[in-house]
Structure 1
Amino acid sequence: MAILSIEPLTRQAFAPFGEVVETEGLTPLSINQGYAERYNELATIDVGAEGGQINISWFVASARPAPIAIRLMERHPLGSQLFMPLNGGDWLVVVCTDPHTRSSYRALAAKGNQGVNYARNCWHHPLLVLKDASSFLVVDRKGGGDNLEEYWLDETMQLDLRTAAS
């Protein structure tokens, strides 16, 4: 069984797969008479294929038993998919450029203040959280067309959770 090391989620590491949604390093716009700060253009929502529309959802995810096995990858050919944690808990992201090529897989440790926007057609694992009842705001596509493609791995991979804290 292949073991997948986990590296920190950064804009650079995730760039081939989409966008990291975070405010670090950005300058906010002061609004509401100075009582609030607004961060603009954090992600590009791409849902217009085949007449799609933006869908905003609330997901509540459960932790998978350790060791975490990677058996399934999915992608959305008609739109992007954004996940933003709401509980502040750290979570995991697994992506690849080609699900048939093991060397293309990356596992990334996301902080509780980081979201991701998977680009259209980005292969990724379904939501992976470290604590039960982890809530996420999700922005993705609704509408006609087949917007889900799944790939079941021939050989399961396993995440090396010891590397998640590095």
Structure 2
Amino acid sequence: MRPAVTPESAVPAAQPPERVVARVRRHARILILPAILLILVAGATAYGVGIVPETWQVLAVLGGAVVVVLLGSFLPFLAWLTRRTTITTRRVIVRSGVAIRVRQELLLSRGHDVTVRRTWGQSAFGSGDVRIETGHEKPLVLKDVPNPTLVQGALHELMGEEQARLSERRRVEQTMIDGDTVAWGGR
């Protein structure tokens, strides 16, 4: 005998509000070379301005320094600054782009495996790549994440909670169908 479906148990429980669990950027170690380039260009520019005699040569040295700093230091910093990953209780959101904004979302209920890959350089700085398998050809890869094992553990926990919430909702919906309600064309 099946349990009676009461109006309270027939209505699926309201989902808790979505909360932000973490906001992550790539590890800042990728900015080491642009910072070194900025320091070298500043020194070379100061030396070059002091050694050249004419005004047009000073302007050429300054113009070259500005171009090198823009391309070699400012643009990598801007690219690092505009790429951000947000992990919530229901999804993973990756935002990137300077001129063209790209937003990619992955529902945690779609992910089924989370792996961490670390090179020796990433291990030295405490970072790594977190790969979320979704069953499609192209998995979602969070590159150079600081403290990747912590991110992996959080994603495993959140995915487990989301799977439990989905199975509970399916069970309630199945109870509603199997109870006193007859599906159209059934029985």
Shared fold by TM > 0.5? no
**Which TM-score band applies after superposition, normalised by the shorter structure?**
under 0.3
User: Structure 1-normalised TM-score?
Assistant: 0.23
> Larger helix proportion, structure 1 or 2?
2
Bigger fraction of residues in strand:
1
Larger Rg: 2
Bigger RCO (CA 8 Å, 6+ sep) = 1
TM-score by length of 2: 0.21
